[in-house]
């Protein structure tokens, strides 16, 4: 059987990454390619980088493309943005990618993409209960999944802690910016995750983002009621989740375009 392939792009505050994904295994087919996020990260500049990524891999025209993006997205439109240029607000990302690359793309919040990937292939696979997939990077992203279904655009990286936007204080970027040790940063994470637990009571917390590669340095320092585990896909989850969704969209578009076969006209409605 031919390989099921889609291409995932993950737009982040420091880098824009892409790779083709095998949808049967959730593995990257080629090493991901990363281009630094342009500054300022305006829509035109970011879409130009997405086009560069697609060119780099010389992707066939029929490979579905998914883009994960660090802001809430409603019907393709970026409604709010914390860590890229403010001119993104109100931009239809799907349409901007279509104009800039000549391709249809499925677009999704980056934490939600990570959530899809962890449900399909990772630490949240077949979990019957409530899971919070949390990405720690430039910002804090949150995907809420209950019985395998996702509540999209949960912007819980922006809850207030001590009168501050939580992600400014507890994201991996805060650790780096302030030169915090893992022990000091873990105290902030303890506070943040405790607050998330108090509000949502998840059965499982899955921690992703680039820094989850170093999970043994901070997860053992946390003492929380729910189980807390590193993301299985580490920081490829955004790419994989966007690719999963792009494939699903392409499959449903194809099914809608294919007339149903009616072998028994007598019972056809």
Binding site for ligand BGC (CB under 6 A): 70-72, 82-83, 109-111, 135, 137, 139-141, 155, 157, 167
Of 167 and 249, CB closest to ligand BGC: 167
Nearest-approach distance from CB 253 to ligand BGC, in angstroms: 26
Of 70 and 122, CB closest to ligand BGC: 70
Nearest-approach distance from CB 69 to ligand BGC, in angstroms: 8
The C-alpha atoms of residue 94 and residue 45 are separated, in whole angstroms, by: 15
Helix (H) or strand (E) holding 143: strand 140-146
Nearest-approach distance from CB 138 to ligand BGC, in angstroms: 6
Of 156 and 250, CB closest to ligand BGC: 156
| Rounded-to-10 torsion of CA 140, 123, 235, 120 | -110
C-beta separation of 161 from 195 below 8 A: yes
Apex CA 116: angle with CA 231 and CA 10, to 5°? 80
Of 154 and 243, CB closest to ligand BGC: 154
Nearest-approach distance from CB 7 to ligand BGC, in angstroms: 20
Q: Which of 16, 18, 39 is nearest to 85 (CA)?
A: 39
Crossing angle for the helix pair 237-257 and 110-121, to the nearest 10 degrees? 80
Nearest-approach distance from CB 165 to ligand BGC, in angstroms: 9
Of 72 and 202, CB closest to ligand BGC: 72
The C-alpha atoms of residue 41 and residue 86 are separated, in whole angstroms, by: 9
The C-alpha atoms of residue 245 and residue 65 are separated, in whole angstroms, by: 9
């Amino acid at each position: 059987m031919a390989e099921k392939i889609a291409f995932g792009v993950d737009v982040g505050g420091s880098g824009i990454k892409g790779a083709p994904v095998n949808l049967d295994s959730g593995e990257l087919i080629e090493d991901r390619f990363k281009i630094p996020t342009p500054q300022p990260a305006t829509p035109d500049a970011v879409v130009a980088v997405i086009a560069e990524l697609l060119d780099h891999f010389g992707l066939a025209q029929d490979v579905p493309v998914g883009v994960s993006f660090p802001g809430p997205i409603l019907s393709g439109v970026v409604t709010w943005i914390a860590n890229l240029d403010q001119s993104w607000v109100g931009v239809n990302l799907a349409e901007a990618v279509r104009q800039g690359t000549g391709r249809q793309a499925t677009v999704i919040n980056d934490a939600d993409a990570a959530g899809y990937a962890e449900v399909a292939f990772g630490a949240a696979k077949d979990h019957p209960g409530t899971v919070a997939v949390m990405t720690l990077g430039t910002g804090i992203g949150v995907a809420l999944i209950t019985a395998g279904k996702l509540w999209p655009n949960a912007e819980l990286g922006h809850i207030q802690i001590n009168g501050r936007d939580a992600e400014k204080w507890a994201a991996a970027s805060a650790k780096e910016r302030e030169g915090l040790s893992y022990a000091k940063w873990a105290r902030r994470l303890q506070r943040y995750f405790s607050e998330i637990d108090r509000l949502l009571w998840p059965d499982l917390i899955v921690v992703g983002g680039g820094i989850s590669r170093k999970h043994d340095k901070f997860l053992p320092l946390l003492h929380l009621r729910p189980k807390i585990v590193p993301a299985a896909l580490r920081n490829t989850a955004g790419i994989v989740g966007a690719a999963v969704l792009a494939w699903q969209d392409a499959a449903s578009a194809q099914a809608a375009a294919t007339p149903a076969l009616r072998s028994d006209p007598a019972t056809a409605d």
